[in-house]
Amino acid sequence: MAERVRFENVVDGVRLGSADGRWIESANPFTGKPWAEVPHCGLDDVDRAVDAAHKAFVKGPWPSMTASARGKLLRRLGDLIERDAARLAEIEVKDNGKLLAEMAGQVRYMAEWFHYFGGLADKIEGGVIPTDKPDMFTYTKREPLGVVVCITPWNSPLLLLTWKLAPALAAGNTIVIKPSEFTSCSTLAFMDLIAEAGFPQGVVNTLTGFGSEIGTALVEHPKVAKVAFTGGDATGASVYAAAARGIKHVTLELGGKSPNIVFADAAIDDAVKGAISGIFAASGQTCIAGSRLLVQRAVYDEVCEKVASFAATARLGDPMDSGTQVGPITTQPQRRKVLDYMEVARGEGARCLLGGGTPDRPDLKDGWFVEPTIFADVSNDMRIAREEVFGPILSIIPFEDDEEAVEIANDTIYGLASGVWTSNIRRAFTMADRIRAGTVWVNTYRAVSYLAPFGGYKKSGIGRESGQHAIDEYLQTKCVWINLAEGVPNPFVLR
Ligand code: TXE
């Protein structure tokens, strides 16, 4: 048996396995073989992690630390991420099979969130309220919520953690991180940097294990104040229901079936590249995947042909190689799901322009690959146009005019992202107004930033991550009334 790397949790500043000594194997999607193991936590471990976070919230150095000192810790963490980005990215690739080129850039970019929210930490201000009661001095304070649980998925574990962790810590909360059972290693490695940056013990804790075993107990835990979740919509709904039972705050970042709309007046070659990056980057395993390509009939044949021939040149291979353009699917169940959707699309009568199965190459046989796949002549009522696949399958849907484009774009339960390709400025603004989604990209796709809010309309989620207001998701407002008058006039009458 090949040597396995063992990663342990961090609870109250101490590295440890699960209470009952069980482990979960973590497999490399390119080799199909386990390469590491992480603790298989159970219900006892849930209590241990939440208790540590709760203790750190109510006593010790964290609650009495100034906001400026907190900000400094976050900025130092950002610096350490810059230093260690290459190492963390390699761990991430071994776990999730995404391209090293993309992961290295992504991890380096994560530092910006910690620098930015570190800067915001001491700009959280309340206000003085000029109330109608002249003898009262009334002011507001904005305070942290308490223990925040960050539940992250397997597609971009560290980046999606960062979107939660940076604002939550800047606001003064303490944390329990529950990473995906498929990709916990990079999060556990990242915990070394939390310690090195100087965060007090118990401020950030981790809890690895299966969501189905410990997820509900964690969300329902009475000492948890908020859950920040990214994942599938079915799991998101059950997290929301569990949080509701305990009246907890939530942010949910869920799935998408995002429309990427090409008008006949667009720069077609740019639009083709936008369509490719919208669906084949990260092997389509992103919540913002532009999985529905809406193309105006006048350029429909041309766009279908160009997208298919461009995608046909994609180089599948080892995600660690700089020449690889498409890597494997992260998990075996997800690969099965993607392949099943190919059958669904065929059964519904969609026309397969490219791919449609697994690559027939001996060097890829151990990895969890599927071919970049394109279906044309899809209609928006087909399952392939309605359900999130989360893989490299593009559905191309024709439309006649702006009205029909808007109708098809919005005819979805989701509303996470969208793209519009046009050279008409009026059309660009009008589409941006009319598309019901949290992000609209015009003549580009997949741009995100620590400065810009991100989140979903409709079933794509609740709340926003990144940007100034993301910190509000981790704060609550207290109103303080100071009576400056002498005496209490009439205790039986509300003033
Ligand atoms: O994700 P889950 P899965 C979509 C995508 C994918 C589908 C299923 O379509 O095919 O979801 O993926 C934890 N209480 N996305 O099943 O279950 C789990 O351990 C609390 C979109 O892998 O949503 C993991 O840490 N937590 C997406 C996290 O939830 C629970 C990214 C996400 O896993 C839990 C990933 C429970 N009852 C998948 N059950 C995106 N929006 O980017 C599981 N978990």
Contact 93, 283 (CB under 8 A): no
DSSP H helical ranges for 59-184: 61-64, 67-96, 100-120, 157-170
Q: Nearest to residue 350, comparing CAs of 331, 333, 370, 374?
A: 374
Ligand 1 centroid to Cα of residue 235, in Å, is 6
At 492 the pLDDT is 87
One-character DSSP codes across 356-379: -S----GGGTTS-----EEEES--
CA atoms within 13 A on the CB side of 27: 14
Residue-level pLDDT, tens digit, the chain, 495 residues: 568 999 999 999 999 999 999 999 999 999 999 999 999 999 999 999 999 999 999 999 999 999 999 999 999 999 999 999 999 999 999 999 999 999 999 999 999 999 999 999 999 999 999 999 989 999 999 999 999 999 999 999 999 999 999 999 999 999 999 999 999 999 999 999 999 999 999 999 999 999 999 999 999 999 999 999 999 999 999 999 999 999 999 999 999 999 999 999 999 999 999 999 999 999 999 999 999 999 999 999 999 999 999 999 999 999 999 999 999 999 999 999 999 999 999 999 999 999 999 999 999 999 999 999 999 999 999 999 999 999 999 999 999 999 999 999 999 999 999 999 999 999 999 999 999 999 999 999 999 999 999 999 999 999 999 999 999 999 999 999 999 999 887 888 876
At 1 the pLDDT is 56
**332-389: pLDDT as tens digits:** 999 999 999 999 999 999 999 999 999 999 999 999 999 999 999 999 999 999 999 9
Phi then psi for residue 476, to 5 deg, are -135, 160
Closest atom of ligand 1 relative to the 256 alpha carbon: 41
37, 92, 181, 253: which one is catalytic?
253
Closest atom of ligand 1 relative to the 242 alpha carbon: 14
At 453 the pLDDT is 98
The span from the CA of 372 to the CA of 275, in Å, is 12
Ligand 1 pocket test, candidate residues 219, 235, 279, most atoms within 8 A of CB:
235
Q: Give the pairing type, strands 393-399 and 174-178.
A: unpaired
Closest atom of ligand 1 relative to the 389 alpha carbon: 9
At 3 the pLDDT is 83
**112-168: pLDDT as tens digits:** 999 999 999 999 999 999 999 989 999 999 999 999 999 999 999 999 999 999 999
Read off the tokens for 489: 């006039």
Ligand 1 centroid to Cα of residue 247, in Å, is 22
At 495 the pLDDT is 66
The span from the CA of 51 to the CA of 53, in Å, is 5
287, 304, 387, 473: which one is catalytic?
287
Ligand 1 centroid to Cα of residue 123, in Å, is 34
> Which element (helix H / strand E) includes 6?
strand 5-6
Q: Is 253 a catalytic residue?
A: yes
At 85 the pLDDT is 98
The span from the CA of 214 to the CA of 483, in Å, is 47
Read off the tokens for 21: 């000594």
The span from the CA of 462 to the CA of 251, in Å, is 5
At 358 the pLDDT is 97
Ligand 1 centroid to Cα of residue 231, in Å, is 4
Which pairs count as long-range contacts for 71-74, CB under 8 Å and 24+ apart, including other chains? 71/118, 71/119, 71/120, 71/121, 71/122, 71/170, 72/118, 73/118, 73/169, 73/197, 73/198, 73/199, 74/114, 74/115, 74/117, 74/118, 74/121, 74/166, 74/169, 74/170, 74/197
Contacts of 421 (CB under 8 A, 6+ apart): 260, 261, 262, 263, 266, 267, 270, 271, 274, 442, 443
Q: Nearest to residue 289, comparing CAs of 407, 442, 393, 377?
A: 393
Q: Is 287 a catalytic residue?
A: yes
Ligand 1 centroid to Cα of residue 386, in Å, is 18
Phi then psi for residue 308, to 5 deg, are -65, -40
Q: Name all residues whose Cβ lies below 6 A of ligand 1.
A: 151-155, 178-181, 211-212, 215-216, 219, 230-232, 235, 238-239, 253-255, 287, 334, 337, 388, 390
Q: Nearest to residue 187, comparing CAs of 148, 227, 215, 159?
A: 159
The span from the CA of 182 to the CA of 189, in Å, is 15
